[in-house]
Amino acid sequence: MKILSQNTAFGGMQGVFSHESEATKGGMTFAVFVPPQAITERRPVLWYLSGLTCTHANVMEKGEYRRMAAELGLIIVCPDTSPRGNDVPDELTNWKMGKGAGMYLNATETPWSDNYQMYSYVTEELPALVAEHFRVDMDRQGIFGHSMGGHGAMTIALKNPDRFKSCSAFAPIVNPLTADWTQDTFEKYLGPDRAKWREYDACALVEDGARFPEFLIDQGKADSFLETGLKPWLFEEAIKGTDIGLTLRIHERYDHSYYFISTFMDDHLKWHAERLG
């Protein structure tokens, strides 16, 4: 692991690091905020997954999480959204595919399958690296994210309920099987058999029996992607008749941007802190 930068913030440390990944077969960069409490004791860790076209830097620079994370004693880890490098397959004119659009799944189709193993990277390789180098309490993990990252957070939580104690999302893609901006991407990554897509779709996972205690979802009503790509009411419908709890908050005038995310970031951090102890 290489240190790319370290800066003091709110008594803690905001760092950016890189390493060679076996899962994605190349260099990966990620950010970690370490609160002051983690200087002497193990602290809960909260994984933040970013959205389409983003890197680790978007939330680090615009998410405004450090003050509250320092107060609550939360370690925040922000992975990249996809593999990187000159040899990694990409579609330069398609922002929904390739670099910046890893979808937090393990691709099975060529040429994507060699590098696009973001599910394994986020759930296995990166946690092992973070546990080795930081004072994290791996028995107290939460996960959240935005848009594509909200999709990733919810599906990962549903598939790993024994690992994560909390999950929330900002404007998540809850049903990629029907969203207009994910169907073409899923087919390229996973092939035409839609049955294989279901393990990376929050609504489908619930329909197929996956469970998680509760979710917090914040959604802007002025979000231009709301009606065709996000549709949080589909998840609300999917959990009916289950014991899954959902707090779904729809906010007038808010869009899909980090102005929206930063406005409600403190609420999410407090929500996770209550459940992580």
Residue 271 in 3-state DSSP? Answer: helix
Distance CA 17, CA 132 (A): 14
Measure Cα distances from 190 to 50, 91, 123, 149, 184 in Å: 21, 16, 19, 18, 10
What strands lie across the sheet with 164-170, from one edge to the other?
2-9, 12-21, 26-34, 75-79, 43-49, 136-146, 164-170, 214-220, 245-251
Do 220 and 195 contact (CB within 8 A), yes or no? no
Residues tagged active-site: 147, 223, 256
Task: DSSP for 97-143, please give it.
Answer: SSTT--TTSB--STTGGGT-BHHHIIIIIHHHHHHHHS-EEEEEEEE
Distance CA 19, CA 6 (A): 16
